[in-house]
Amino acid sequence: MKEVEYEVVRDRFDNCITVCNMENFDPLGIHTGESIVVAPSQTLTNEDYHYLRKLAIKIIRHIGIVGECNVQYAFDPESMDYRVIEVNARLSRSSALASKATGYPLAFVAAKLGLGYGLFDLRNSVTKETSAFFEPALDYIVCKIPRWDLGKFHGVRREIGSSMKSVGEVMAIGRTFEEVIQKGLRMIGQGMHGFVDNKPLTVTDDEIDRQLTTPTDKRIFVIAEAMLRGYTVDRIHDLTKIDKWFLYRLQNIVNTQKELTLSDSLEELDPALLRQAKEQGFSDFQIARAVLKEKMSSGEKDNLRVRDMRKSLGILPVVKQIDTLAAEYPAQTNYLYLTYNGSQNDVEYLHDRKSIVVLGSGAYRIGSSVEFDWCSVNALLTVKKEGWRSVMINYNPETVSTDYDMCDRLYFDELTFERVMDILDLEQPHGTILSVGGQIPNNLATRLDEQHINILGTTARSIDNAEDRNKFSAMLDRLGIDQPRWRELTSLEDINKFIDEVGFPVLVRPSYVLSGAAMNVCSNPDELERFLKLAANVSKQHPVVVTEFIQNAKEIEMDAVAQNGEIKVYAISEHIEFAGVHSGDATIQFPPQKLYVETMRRIKKVSGQIARALNISGPFNIQFLAKNNDIKVIECNLRASRSFPFVSKVLKINFIDLATKVMLGLPVEKPAKNAFDLDYVGIKASQFSFSRLQGADPVLGVDMSSTGEVGCIGVDTSEAILKAMLSVGMRVPKKGVLLSTGTPKQKADMLDSAHKLHNKGYRIYATGGTFRFLNDNGIPAIRVYWPSESEQPQALQMLHDKEIDLVVNIPKNLTPTELGNGHRIRRAAIDLNIPLLTNARLAAAFIEAFTTLSTDDIEIRSWDEY
């Protein structure tokens, strides 16, 4: 069975049109949000298409929907038998995709129809000539691919099905299915180069059969591996039930790849074959890897060799406009994509050097989400306001930065070095902004600089000096700035010597990564060896550094904008949790409430030294550790950080607007001193999706795992914390609280909270060690037992019986045995939807808040009243 969707629009006069139909690459049974989706459908016959379209219109008329709606079908193409799976009478995930895929602004039209307009009253905002009554017709194909981040979780199940686990998605636009699937697989940002020429999968034939039958997040690459091993389209179809049309197209890619491998050098490559490969979405890197095989010297050099060769042969991509009506009417917008399946550009290039290119942030993932979209959009607005032409490159259909009315030109395309260079060759802008799109653009800095691209703001050399852990640490030593002791990974022997000196735990840190990917705390030699291997794999060209891990230290962040090395505006915020929880998972308060004046003074001084040493022009973020009054620098990112939108909104000073002005070379005044005197507190708290990730252990560490965040403002910390915790789905407990509180030090830290719970009349349940500790300190508690103990009452049973409505479970350390026992309790809390806290500092802050304030005490005020 296929899964097919139609987006339908109806006005109050009973006029209906279908805007877009989409088809899932995966068969029925995998959630649309988990599936690869193509639009328009490729495998339906004309008869099938019109049959389902007519039904969709009949349904929306019968229900009487005004506005926009989507209809999902299960459809059997053999017998034309169908079932309606569901009708969403609202904008859905598919509506966002359909809007970006067709250029038909569904939300805008739905809002107007809701106000009582008719379809014939509204203009089509792409053609500017026709009314919104025209059905879009596409002369291109789009492909949506989900992005998962399952690798970050311990024990998570990798199968995908009817419940969503993906955290983001990408959309690729092109003229053939081969082109868009390869483009899309590069866009996902999981180290793949396309459908073929990736790192070979180490799987047996039995495993291939199993992974084809029970789909996982990696199934598309298993199909590639199967084809390379000689599986036929029929056999793969029998195992996966994916339509043969798609599989034959994928087979075309594999056939071209095999032809490429027959050449032994780039010089003897047939130009016709090179063009065919580019038309099928092969990147320069894939072509180099297929032809040169073991002779590849360095990916970057060989990449450029293929690039120079195809440019000399005139094999160049052309720029096409999305025009919604397949060129029946002239399009007015600059909504663009690049393809090799075309002969001329749809856009006239002026080459007046009046445009500024902003690189976006790509797919939403754990660690990079709306924050960088907010930064990109604000940069575009400032560029436009200052009289430049704003140009955006991004490929995420969920973002505001890919709305074609956000900027003067939108390239909905890849953020790879190759594609960015293609666009810059055409556009010839005044300059390019890298620092507002998170880690993806930052990683291109050095390579773009070598091609003499004008990077606005901080130079590529400075970016490299901050990103490369070894260079950065050496610079701090030169400046006499304190940092945790560190050693670069050159040999295991050397690292073991270093560990004899500093002792466990230590932190393994690769360079040029976002959200702490492959960063790990190691508390014994086995873990150390395992994580060093992992980090070296992730950060191939860049050094891996091992640092001492300082326990019970505060973590403090500095977000700032500098001009020519002088800080113009800054925000210092503190984490509620101690260091060791990734800053993207931590609960952050701003302005800080518990820092000594002396600590603040030192942070400002050290930040000023670093800004001068790296000659920063633009946004940056520095993370510090503070213990007593000593501060140490953890790292410095020469780009906007995850907390930029939060501090901008609490301070009411737009950091990105100022940073963009700096990068455009305009003078920026420092805000007046009193702008920093706030009589309210902002709290940023993280939202986790553990309930969706069956089997994952909901414990936090240095590798980020939250999928979203909230920001709340209150008159003091308690009010702001209470608002924030309720916003991320915590509930104030009514009856009983289960405490199991880690190490003796953590137990002592939680004593005060236990007193507050007792005084408030809560029943306290506690596991062994915590139970004894509470009794010794005069707090009555009821003992419950771990799953590994046989006595009664069992903690798990009490959770099932709903006797407990808050679980505070703090692992002593991150060793397997310690995590094992608590894992079942933590997992049960998540699966039964019982609020769970795994950090002593956060638990204490939340307990303080709900024992001193009731939810009725929360003031309701709008943002501008603070």
Distance of CA 230 to CAs 209, 234, 291, 394, 844, Å?
13, 11, 20, 36, 59
Nearest CA among 552, 555, 550, 546 for reference residue 527: 546
Question: What span, in angstroms and rounded, lies between the C-alpha atoms of 639 and 567?
Answer: 14
Q: Are 635 and 472 in contact (CB under 8 A)?
A: yes
Tracing tokens 């969707």 back to the chain, one arrives at 5
Nearest CA among 367, 385, 383 for reference residue 189: 367
| Distance spanning both ends of the chain, measured CA to CA | 55
Task: Report H helices in 154-218.
Answer: 177-187, 205-213
Q: Which two tokens stand for residue 633?
A: 């620098």
Q: What pLDDT does 363 receive?
A: 94
What sign does the CA torsion over 173, 119, 41, 71 have? Answer: positive
Tracing tokens 């495998």 back to the chain, one arrives at 43
Question: What span, in angstroms and rounded, lies between the C-alpha atoms of 568 and 579?
Answer: 27
Tracing tokens 């924030």 back to the chain, one arrives at 724
For 129, residues 6+ apart whose C-beta sits below 8 A from its C-beta are 123, 329, 330, 332
Whether the ω angle into residue 592 lies within 30 degrees of 0, i.e. cis, is no
Residue 672 is given by DSSP the state: P
Residue spans of the chain under pLDDT 70? 325-331, 514-518, 538-540, 673-676, 813-819
Question: What span, in angstroms and rounded, lies between the C-alpha atoms of 186 and 170?
Answer: 10
Q: What angle (nearest 5°) sits at the alpha carbon of residue 291, between those of residues 287 and 296?
A: 95
Question: What span, in angstroms and rounded, lies between the C-alpha atoms of 364 and 829?
Answer: 27
Q: What pLDDT does 533 receive?
A: 81
For 84-93, b/e burial (b = at least 16 CB within 10 A) is eeeebeebbb
Q: What is the 3-state secondary structure (H, E, C) of 203-214?
A: CCHHHHHHHHHC
Secondary structure of residue 702 in the 3-state scheme: coil
Strands (E) located in 258-374: 318-321, 335-339, 355-359
Task: Report H helices in 64-105.
Answer: 93-102
For 120-142, b/e burial (b = at least 16 CB within 10 A) is eebebbbbeeeebbbebebebbb
Distance of CA 833 to CAs 486, 534, 714, Å?
41, 33, 27
Q: What pLDDT does 330 receive?
A: 66
Q: What pLDDT does 629 receive?
A: 81
Q: What is the pLDDT of residues 97-156, one digit of tens each?
A: 999 999 898 999 999 999 999 999 998 777 777 788 888 889 999 999 999 998 888 788
Residue 167 is given by DSSP the state: -
Q: What angle (nearest 5°) sits at the alpha carbon of residue 175, between those of residues 173 and 181?
A: 55
For 294, residues 6+ apart whose C-beta sits below 8 A from its C-beta are none
Question: What span, in angstroms and rounded, lies between the C-alpha atoms of 560 and 568?
Answer: 8
Nearest CA among 296, 298, 306, 333 for reference residue 422: 306
Q: What is the pLDDT of residues 273-285, one digit of tens each?
A: 999 999 999 999 9
Question: What span, in angstroms and rounded, lies between the C-alpha atoms of 376 and 761?
Answer: 50
Q: Are 165 and 186 in contact (CB under 8 A)?
A: no
Nearest CA among 381, 360, 435 for reference residue 640: 435
Residues 220-227: contacts with CB under 8 Å, at least 24 apart: 220/36, 220/145, 220/181, 220/185, 220/195, 221/192, 223/247, 223/250, 224/195, 224/196, 224/198, 224/250, 224/254, 225/200, 225/201, 227/251, 227/254
For strands 836-837 and 804-810, give the pairing. parallel
Q: What pLDDT does 616 receive?
A: 97
For strands 782-783 and 763-766, give the pairing. parallel
Q: Are 382 and 661 in contact (CB under 8 A)?
A: yes
Question: What span, in angstroms and rounded, lies between the C-alpha atoms of 303 and 799?
Answer: 57
Question: What span, in angstroms and rounded, lies between the C-alpha atoms of 527 and 206?
Answer: 30
Q: Are 359 and 455 in contact (CB under 8 A)?
A: no
Question: What span, in angstroms and rounded, lies between the C-alpha atoms of 187 and 850?
Answer: 44
Tracing tokens 């010794």 back to the chain, one arrives at 776
Question: What span, in angstroms and rounded, lies between the C-alpha atoms of 645 and 370?
Answer: 9
Whether the ω angle into residue 505 lies within 30 degrees of 0, i.e. cis, is yes
Phi, psi of 157 (to 5 degrees): -80, 135
Question: What span, in angstroms and rounded, lies between the C-alpha atoms of 812 and 406?
Answer: 49
